[in-house]
Chain A
Amino acid sequence: MTSSHGRRLLHLAAAVDQQRVYDADSYVGLARLAERGGLDFVTLDDTFARPGPDALSVLSRVAPATGRVGLVPTVTTTHTEPFHVQAAVATLDWVSRGRAGWRIDVSATEGEARLFGRRNAAPPDALWQEAGEVAEVAARLWDSREDDAGIRDAATGRFTGRGTLHHVDFTGSTFSVKGPSTVPRPPQGHPVRVVEATDKHARGTAARYADVALVRAVSPAQLAAARNELREAASAFGRTPDDLRVLASLVVDLGGGEYAAEPGHGGGGPRPTARGPLYRGGPVDLAELIAAWYTDGVTDGFHLTPAEPRRDLERLVNGTVALLQHRGLFRTFYPGSTLREHLGLARPANQYAVAGGTS
Chain B
Amino acid sequence: MTVRQRLRRKRIHLAAHVPGVDNASRPGIEFASFEHLARTAERGLFDFLLLADGPRPREHEGRIDDVDVVGRPESLTVLGALAAVTDRLGLAATVDATFNEPYELARRLATLDHLSGGRAAWNVVTSSDAFTGENVRRGGHPDRSERFSRAAEFVTVARELWDSWTPDGVSRPFAHRGRHFDIAGEFTVPRPPQGHPVVLQEGDSEEGRESAAATADVMFTRHGTLEDGRAFYADVKKRLEKYGRTPGDLKIMPAVTVVLGDTAAEARERAAGIRRQQVSPQHALRTLERLWRVDLSSYDPDGPLPEIDPVPEPAIAQGRPRHGDSVAVAEKWRALSKEKGLSIRQTVIEAGCGRPSLIGTPEAVAAELDACVRRDAADGFVLVPHLTPGGLDEFVDRVVPLLQERGAFRTEYEGATLRSHLGLSGPAGKG
A residues contacting B by CB (< 8 A) are 22-24, 28, 47-48, 50-54, 56-58, 60-65, 79-84, 87-88, 90-92, 94-97, 111-112, 114-118, 145, 149-152, 156-159, 162, 164-167, 174-184
Contact, CB under 8 Å: A115 / B71: no
Q: A51-B171, A94-B29, A156-B280 are in contact. Are A184 and B103 (CB under 8 A)?
A: no
B67 touches A165 (CB 8 A): no
Docked-complex contact B81 and A95, CB < 8 angstroms: yes
B residues in contact with A87, CB < 8 Å:
54, 74
In the complex, how many residue pairs between chain A and chain B have their CB atoms under 8 Å apart? Answer: 202
Assess the B134–A116 pair: CB atoms within 8 A.
no
Contact A115 B185 (CB under 8 A): yes
Cβ of A73 to closest chain B Cβ, rounded Å: 10
Contact of A56 among B77, B116, B279 (CB under 8 A): B77
- Interface stretch, picked from B106-114, B199-207, B215-223, B330-338, is B106-114
Complex interface: stretch among B176-184, B256-264, B292-300, B415-423: B176-184
Contact of B69 among A50, A53, A91, A159 (CB under 8 A): A159
Contact of B189 among A22, A28, A83 (CB under 8 A): A22
- A81 close to B137 (CB less than 8 A): yes
Tell me whether A54 and B138 are in contact (CB under 8 A). no
18 A-B interface contacts by CB (under 8 A): A57-B77, A58-B111, A61-B81, A61-B83, A79-B103, A84-B136, A88-B76, A88-B77, A90-B74, A95-B31, A117-B182, A145-B71, A150-B25, A164-B69, A165-B57, A175-B137, A182-B74, A184-B72
Asked if residues A91 and B73 are in contact (CB atoms below 8 Å), the reply is yes
Q: How far is the CB of A268 from chain B (nearest CB, A)?
A: 38
In B78-114, the 8 Å CB interface with A consists of 78, 80-81, 83-85, 99-101, 103-104, 107-108, 111-112, 114
Given contacts A159-B67, A181-B71, A183-B54, 8 further A-B contacts (CB under 8 A): A51-B188, A79-B104, A91-B78, A118-B138, A157-B67, A157-B281, A165-B64, A166-B64
Taking CB atoms, residues of chain B closer than 8 Å to A180 are: 57, 64
Which are the 10 A-B pairs with shortest beta-carbon distances?
A157-B280, A182-B54, A60-B80, A95-B81, A91-B77, A150-B70, A178-B134, A64-B84, A91-B73, A54-B111
Would A48 and B188 be within 8 Å (CB), given that A95-B77, A159-B67, A181-B71 are in contact?
yes
Chain A: CB-nearest residue to B283: A157
- What separation, in Å, do the CA atoms of A112 and B188 have in the docked complex? 11
The minimal Cβ–Cβ distance linking B106 to chain A, given in whole angstroms, is 10
Given that A88-B76, A91-B74, A174-B137 are known contacts, is A158 also in contact with B185, CB under 8 Å in the complex?
A: no
Q: In the complex the two chains form, what is the Cα distance from A89 to B210 in whole Å?
A: 36
Chain A residue contacts of B188, Cβ below 8 A: 47-48, 50-53
Is A165 within 8 A of B69, CB to CB? yes
Range of interface residues on B (Cβ < 8 Å): 35 or more
A54 and B182 form a contact (CB under 8 A)? no
Q: A-facing mask of B44-75, CB < 8 A → 1, else 0?
A: 00000000011111000000101101111110
Measured in the bound complex, the distance between the Cα atoms of B56 and A84 in whole Å is 13
Separation of A88 and B108 alpha carbons in the complex (Å): 11
CB <8 Å contact, A83 and B182: no
Residues B56 and A182 in contact, CB atoms below 8 Å apart: yes
On whether A88 and B74 interact (CB within 8 A), knowing A53-B111, A54-B108, A80-B104, the answer reads yes
Q: For the complex, give the distance between the alpha carbons of A46 and B29 in Å.
A: 27
Residues of A within 8 A of B53 (CB): 182
- Please tell me if B115 contacts chain A, counting CB pairs below 8 Å: yes
Do the beta carbons of B111 and A57 come within 8 Å of each other? yes
B77 close to A60 (CB less than 8 A): yes
B282 in contact (CB, < 8 A): yes
Interface membership of B30, Cβ < 8 A: yes
- Tell me the bound Cα distance from A91 to B75 in angstroms: 9
Q: Are A145 and B84 in contact (CB under 8 A)?
A: no
Among B66, B116, B136, B185, contact of A162 (Cβ-Cβ < 8 Å) = B66
Complex contact B137–A65 (CB within 8 A)? no
Q: How far is the CA of A92 from the CA of B81 in the complex (A)?
A: 9
Q: Which chain A residues border B42 with CB–CB below 8 Å?
A: none
Name the CB-closest residue of B to A184: B71
Q: Which residues of A contact B30 (CB under 8 A)?
A: 94
B114 cross-chain contacts in A, Cβ below 8 A: 22-24, 53
Given contacts A83-B135, A158-B67, A184-B71, contact A61 B84 (CB under 8 A): yes
Q: Is the CB of B71 within 8 A of A183?
A: yes
Give the CA-CA distance A22 to B169 in the complex, in Å: 11
Docked complex Cα distance between A91 and B427 (Å): 32
| A53 contact from B135, B181, B189, Cβ within 8 A | B189
Instruction: List chain A residues, Cβ under 8 A from B184.
Output: 114-115, 117
Contact between chains at B183 and A177 (CB < 8 Å): no
Report A-chain residues with C-beta under 8 Å of the C-beta of B8. none
Nearest Cβ distance between residue A142 and chain B, in whole angstroms?
11
- Chain A residue at minimal CB-CB distance from B171: A51
Question: Among A28, A51, A158, which residue has its beta carbon within 8 angstroms of that of B280?
Answer: A158
Q: Which of chain B's residues have a CB closer than 8 A to the CB of A162?
A: 66
